[in-house]
């Protein structure tokens, strides 16, 4: 059954996404992706979600994360479920089902090879490549060289200012940080701000744990535009990985466009291993 959850159901969706994260699995939709989206508020987050259930149990979650884009997570045991795959294909392909609009659309499908094959058979095509990267957190993470501050309610303006200086078109505000922090995913998250030796706020990141022994996510990571080219991207990435380790995460993960060579190099310089590229799918 395809449905759109109510805001009160967001904790259930977050719990499902947490349970689907494991180190040997694909880097699919993470509770942190939903947590970051909740900066727009609980109502907006619920409106952007689609769930597929069988006998009341969530088997797949879709996050409508931008015009014509759905990002999917699938329960590991349902990855080769033919009935689920065919239902997803029908719902993603037909605009009248209320998932994707008519015209060009995209699906981030990194789990469930049966679903990917079925979408390709239905006429979807491969889109641009993305580079997943991962760092094992078994051993301690080296020092980053910045003073790291965990953002609390009284330091939100600094966190917001660094983010807006890192991402030119950002609409992040203190109110949106509060909305994000009020969401169920943020119980296992931390916002970090890095300060240089002049005590200037130079970089920021948010990390999301999926629970002890599970992969954690970096989303987003940015360096203030006035402080680039000084290694601060590597430093804040190291700090993010160290924070996830303290939260009990088994690995730190991040995904960026393969064409973003600078970002890939930054993550690799922080000890992240680049995994094989993955491609979204496109419906014309």
Tell me: the pLDDT tens digits for 220-265?
999 999 999 999 999 999 999 999 999 999 999 999 999 999 999 9
Query: What are the structural domain ranges in the chain?
Result: 2-129, 135-277
pLDDT digits (tens, 9 = 90+) for 138-166: 999 999 999 999 999 999 999 999 999 99
- Give which of 62, 45, 46, 54 is closest to 97, Cα–Cα: 62
Residue 217 · residue 207 · CB < 8 Å? yes
Report d(CA 163, CA 244) in Å as an integer: 20
- Give the DSSP letter of residue 6: -
DSSP letters, 178-246, are HHHHTSGGGGGEEEEEEE-TT--EEEEEEEE--STTS-EEEEEEEE-GGGTTSSHHHHHHHHHHHHHHH
- Residue 220, CA distances (Å) to 20, 104, 127 in order: 21, 26, 23
- Give which of 20, 148, 138, 158 is closest to 79, Cα–Cα: 20
Report d(CA 247, CA 78) in Å as an integer: 28
Q: For strand 69-74 and strand 105-108, is the pairing parallel, antiparallel, or unpaired?
A: parallel
pLDDT for position 112: 75
pLDDT for position 151: 98
pLDDT for position 254: 98
Q: Hey, which CATH number is domain 135-277, 3.40.50.800, 3.20.20.80, 3.40.630.30, 3.20.20.480? A: 3.40.630.30
- Give the DSSP letter of residue 276: P
pLDDT for position 31: 98
Q: For strand 251-257 and strand 216-223, is the pairing parallel, antiparallel, or unpaired?
A: parallel
Q: Does domain 2-129 have CATH number 3.40.630.30?
A: yes
Residue owning tokens 């200012």: 161
**Whole-model pTM above 0.85?**
yes
Local structure of 89: helix, strand or coil: helix
Q: CATH topology of 2-129 equal to that of 135-277?
A: yes
Residues of the chain with pLDDT under 70: none
């Amino acid at each position: 059954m395809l449905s759109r959850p109510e805001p009160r159901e967001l904790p259930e969706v977050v719990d499902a996404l947490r349970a689907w994260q494991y180190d040997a699995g694909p880097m699919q939709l993470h509770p942190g992706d939903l947590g970051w989206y909740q900066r727009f508020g609980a109502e907006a987050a619920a409106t952007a979600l689609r769930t597929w259930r069988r006998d009341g149990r969530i088997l797949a979650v879709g996050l409508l994360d931008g015009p014509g884009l759905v990002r999917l997570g699938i329960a590991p045991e349902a990855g080769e479920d033919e009935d689920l795959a065919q239902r997803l294909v029908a719902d993603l392909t037909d605009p009248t089902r209320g998932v994707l609009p008519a015209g060009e659309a995209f699906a981030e499908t990194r789990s469930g090879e049966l679903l990917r094959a079925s979408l390709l058979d239905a006429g979807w095509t491969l889109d641009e490549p993305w580079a997943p990267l991962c760092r094992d957190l078994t051993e301690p993470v080296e020092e980053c060289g910045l003073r790291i501050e965990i953002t609390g309610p009284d330091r939100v303006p600094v966190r917001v200012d660094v983010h807006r200086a890192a991402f030119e078109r950002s609409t992040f505000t203190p109110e949106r940080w509060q909305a994000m922090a009020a969401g169920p995913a943020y119980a296992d998250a931390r916002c970090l701000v890095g300060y240089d030796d002049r005590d200037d706020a130079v970089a920021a990141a948010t990390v999301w744990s999926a629970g002890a022994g599970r992969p954690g996510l970096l989303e987003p990571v940015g360096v203030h535009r006035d402080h680039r080219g000084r290694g601060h991207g590597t430093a804040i990435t190291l700090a993010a990985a160290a924070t996830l380790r303290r939260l009990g995460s088994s690995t730190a993960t991040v995904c960026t466009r393969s064409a973003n060579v600078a970002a890939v190099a930054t993550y690799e310089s922080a000890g992240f291993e680049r995994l094989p590229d993955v491609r979204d799918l496109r419906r014309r």
